[in-house]
Amino acid sequence: MSFRHPTRRGFLASGMSSLAALAVTGSVPGRAQAATPPGVLVVGQIAEPKALDPAAVTAVNDFRILVNLYEGLTRYRPGTLEVAPGLASDWTISDDGTVYTFTLRENVRFHDGTPFDAEAVKFNFDRMLDETHPYHDTGPFPLAFFFGSVARIEALDPHSVRFTLKEPYAPFLSNLAYPTGLLVSPQAVRQHGHEFGRNPVGTGPFRFVEWRSNEAVVIERNPDYWGEKAATEAVIFRPITDANTRVAEMLAGGIDLMVEVPPASLAQFRDGRFSIVEQAGPHLWFLILNCKEGPFADKRVRQAANYAINKEAIANDVLEGTATVAAGPIPPAFNWAHDDTLEPYPYDPERARALIEEAGAVGARLVFYVTEGGSGMLDPLPMGTAIQADLEAVGFDVEIRTFEWNTFLAQVNPGLAGKADMAEMAWMTNDPDTLPYLALRTEAWPDTGGFNSGYYSNPTVDALLEQARTSTDQAERAQLYREMQAIVHDDAPWVFVANWKQNAVTSDRVKNFRLEPSFLLHLASVVKD
């Protein structure tokens, strides 16, 4: 099948004549665009991918394409965030937790026909981690630090590979399942160099066909796939930046599947022609409170903020039920590590007022950093506005300052000291370790290179997190995380607001579609009539 339009550039010049435009379109009365044929799934994406090189990208939006083209050594078991075998059929971990030996699946080939073997694995990680590697310059590889603990990779034989870590690092297997750990064809990297990102070659159930800049990325079924073959002939990913336009395309039948449906538009799709799919994910939307100075230096005021904000209203009304109320720093999607007994702070303005009075913070003025939008930030402006109204209702004087996402990060990441009392933030992670380790430890204060922008510090929490990270026993880690959650819940360095339920809408022609808690979009089993 061909998706190419060899003559299109020629039309650009002739397209300039708008009079002709009117004449011709006038003579084509009322013809809607042709519906896409069965077996070709059109997915509405939120943006154009940056690249299709898994080591080079960071956006969930790009991951949604990548996981269909590539596979990693491990993957998440469908419907969970637990690690399962991927291209590695098995592995062993040394007792001290520093040596991982993987057995690779046999008879797997990349789309370009080259075999998948231990050397290919080594090539992938060396490319990312070794600055002297000949293809290191095909980067940059912004998330290489996911594997920063790797000291050495050795190909023991064609089908086994050994990773030696500098220190025990529990999230390692989970990070391998993350898109940064997806494996690319060394041959293709050598061939395309810098342009590999636009000529992706992996082992996955789909292979790359073409990328029409800012129009579509087309992938088709990989007939030589080692596992179960894809159920659709092809998938077309269309970037549609504007949420309203995406909704309109969905309603008009221009796309079969869209992700990240704006909450306010969900009602449009509740009429039987569409189905709405929801799935809670490892996401937390919270407010960083400045624990170092100002009113939030007092724990009672922080708790008061947690009581004062009507999180139910935010989750159900502002977000139209696309999120659940968050209880603590670890999202429930990490089911093994989440403390199910932890209850969210109830909405209790009276209690909040009492605490504020007790702390002598009545009428305190708060500067609140809000972003205009950003990865995982949901509807930050309306949410910020609602939060502002709630806090003012219990006697604070809240001044919102909004920033465009990038500027916002540049303001918040270096710390709130001297600037603000609170800031919005959201994280999507793949391991329960990531967020608390990077954003709650004393050593993660901004001046030492972490994301603890509110300067929370509790030695017990620090110790628990260090311990959980080096343990390779999941049960033990779970216990440590539960202890940590209870303490953090009470200390309230953040206002825990919401856990996002990612959503997607499909037309009634699409069957067998499900969302994963990992936010990844596996489409191999999806059928389109």
Partner 1 sequence: MGGYILRRLIAAVPVLLGITVIVFLVMSLIPGDPATAILGAYATPENVEKLNRDLGLDRPMVERYVIWLGNMLQGDFGRSFSRNRPVIDEVAERFSATLVLAGTSFVLCAFFGIIAGVISAVRQYGFADRLITFAVLVGISVPPFFLGMIMILVFAVHLRWLPVSGMYAIYGGGDLADLLRHLVMPALALAAVAAGVVARLARSAMLEVLRQDHIRTARAKGLPERRVILGHALRSAMVSIIPVLGLQAGFVLSGAVYIETVFQWPGVGRMLVDAILTRDLMLVQGGVVLVAAAYVLFNIAVDVAQALLDPRIKT
Partner 2 sequence: MLALILLLALATPFLPLQDPNATATAERFARPLSPDHLLGTDHLGRDLLARLVHGTRLSLAMGLAAALLAAVLGSILGIVAGFLGGRADNLIMRGIDMLMGFPYVLLALAIVAALGPGLVNALIAVAAVNMPFFARNIRGVTVALAGREFVDAARLSGMGNLRIMAVEILPNVLPVIVIALTTTTGWMILETAGLSFLGLGSQPPQADLGSMLGEARAALISHPHVAVVPGVMIFLVVMSINLFGDGVRDALDPRLGAGAPTRPLPATVVDRTGPPPPSQAGHGALLAIDDLRTEFRIGRRVLPAAGGVSLSLGRGEALGLVGESGSGKSVTALSVMRLVASPPGVIAGGTVRLDDTEVLDAPLRILRGLRGRRVAYVFQDPQGTLHPLYRIGEQLTEAIRAHQPMSLQAARARAIELLRDVRMPRPEDRIDDYPHQLSGGQRQRVGIAMALANDPDVIMADEPTTALDVTVQAQILALLDQLRRERGLAILFITHDFGVVAQLCERLAVMYAGRIVEEGPTAEVLAAPAHPYTRRLIACVPAPGAGRRRLETIPGLPPPLDALPPGCAFAPRCHRARPACSDGEVVLRRTGMRAVRCLYPEAAA
Q: Point out which residues bind partner 2 (CB under 8 A).
A: 243-244, 247-248, 251, 262, 264-265, 267-268, 310, 313-314, 317-318, 370, 372-373, 379, 381-382, 384-386, 388-390, 400-404, 406-407
Q: What count of Cα atoms within 13 Å lies in the side-chain half-sphere of residue 294?
A: 21
| Residue 264 binds partner 1 (CB under 8 A) | no
Q: d(Cα 479, Cα 475) in Å, to the nearest integer?
A: 6
Which of partner 1, partner 2, none does 313 bind, CB closer than 5 to 8 A by kind? partner 2
Residue 375's binding partner out of partner 2, partner 1, none, with CB under 5 to 8 Å set by partner kind: partner 1
Query: Could you give the CA distance from residue 35 to residue 253 in angstroms, rounded to a whole number?
Result: 7
What is the distance between the alpha carbons of residues 302 and 396, in angstroms, rounded to a whole number? Answer: 12
203/503 with CB nearer partner 2: 503
Of positions 121, 176, 188, 240, contacts partner 1 by CB under 8 A:
240
Among 46, 55, 56, 468, binds partner 1 (CB under 8 A): 56
Pairwise CA distance, residues 184 & 202, whole Å: 5
Q: Is 450 in the site for partner 1 (CB under 8 A)?
A: yes
**Taking the complex as a whole, how short is the minimal distance between the CB of residue 208 and partner 2, in angstroms?**
32
Q: Distance of alpha carbon 510 from its chain centroid, rounded?
A: 24
DSSP secondary structure, 37-49, as one string: PTTEEEEEESS--
Closest by CA to 85, choosing from 108, 105, 64, is 105
- Can residue 251 be called a binding residue for partner 1 (CB under 8 A)? yes
CB atoms within 10 A of CB 473: 10
CB 287 within 8 A of CB 454: no
Work out how close the CB of 260 gets to partner 2 at its nearest, in angstroms, rounded to a whole number.
12
Minimum gap (Å) between residue 10 Cβ and partner 2? 28
Give kind and range of the element (H or E) at residue 22: helix 18-26
CB count within 10 Å of CB 385 equals 17
E-assigned strand segments in 416-485: 422-428
Nearest-angstrom CA–CA distance, 175 and 523 = 21
Determine how β-strand 494-507 pairs with β-strand 257-259.
antiparallel
According to CB under 8 A, which one of 171, 254, 493, 517 is a site residue for partner 1?
254
Q: Which of 94, 275, 316, 375 binds partner 1 (CB under 8 A)?
A: 375
| Cβ distance to partner 1 smaller for residue 72 or 415 | 415
Rounded to 10°, the helix 459-470/474-491 angle is: 160
The rounded distance, in Å, linking the Cα atoms of 482 and 391 is 29
Binding mask 119-148 for partner 1 (x = CB under 8 A): --------------------xx-xx-x---
CB of 204 to partner 1, least distance (A): 20
Tokens of 430: 């793949």
Q: Is 343 in the site for partner 1 (CB under 8 A)?
A: no
Give the list of residues 6+ apart from residue 182 with CB closer than 8 angstroms, or none.
Answer: 54, 55, 66, 67, 70, 71, 72, 202
Shortest Å distance, C-beta 176 to partner 1 = 17
Size of interface with partner 1, in residues (CB under 8 A) = 80
| Planar angle of CA 105, 99, 128, nearest 5 degrees | 70
Angle 323-291-146 from CA coordinates, rounded to 5°: 60
- Residue 211 or 347 with smaller CB distance to partner 2: 347
Residue 264 interaction partner, one of partner 1, partner 2, none, beta carbon < 5-8 Å per kind: partner 2
Comparing CB distances to partner 1, the nearer of 19 and 475 is 19
> Looking at 80, 316, 413, 470, which residue binds partner 1 (CB under 8 A)?
413
Work out the number of other CB atoms within 10 angstroms of the CB of residue 26: 8
**Counting contacts by CB under 8 A, is residue 411 touching partner 1?**
yes
- Tokens representing 128? 């990312």
Nearest approach, Cβ of residue 230 and partner 2 (Å)? 33
Rounded to whole angstroms, the Cα distance separating 448 from 442 reads 9
* Cα–Cα distances in angstroms (integers) from residue 260 to residues 30, 377, 383, 463, 507, in the given order: 31, 12, 17, 37, 15
Cα first-last separation, the chain: 18
The binding track of 153-192 with respect to partner 1, each residue x by CB under 8 A or -, is ----------------------------------------
Least spacing, CB of residue 68 vs partner 1, in Å: 17
- Between 388 and 499, name the residue whose CB sits nearer to partner 1: 499
- State the nearest-atom distance from the C-beta of 520 to partner 2, in Å: 26
Cβ-based nearer residue to partner 2, 297 or 393: 393
Tell the smallest beta-carbon distance from residue 418 to partner 2 (Å). Answer: 15
Among 406, 460, 474, 512, binds partner 1 (CB under 8 A): 406
Taking the complex as a whole, the smallest distance from the CB of residue 162 to partner 2 amounts, in Å, to 47
Q: Within a 10 A sphere around the Cβ of 113, how many other Cβ atoms? A: 10
* Complex with partner 2: residue 203 or 310, whichever CB lies closer: 310
CB of 310 to partner 2, least distance (A): 8
Q: Give the binding range for partner 1 (CB under 8 A) out of 80-88, 233-241, 289-297, 361-369.
A: 233-241
The interface with partner 1 within residues 7-26 (CB under 8 A) comprises 7-9, 11-12, 14-22, 24-25
92 binds partner 1 (CB under 8 A): no
Q: Which of residues 28, 95, 132, 475 is near partner 1 by CB under 8 A?
A: 28
* Positive/negative CA dihedral, 187, 190, 194, 195: negative
Q: Which of residues 485-524 bind partner 1 (CB under 8 A)?
A: none
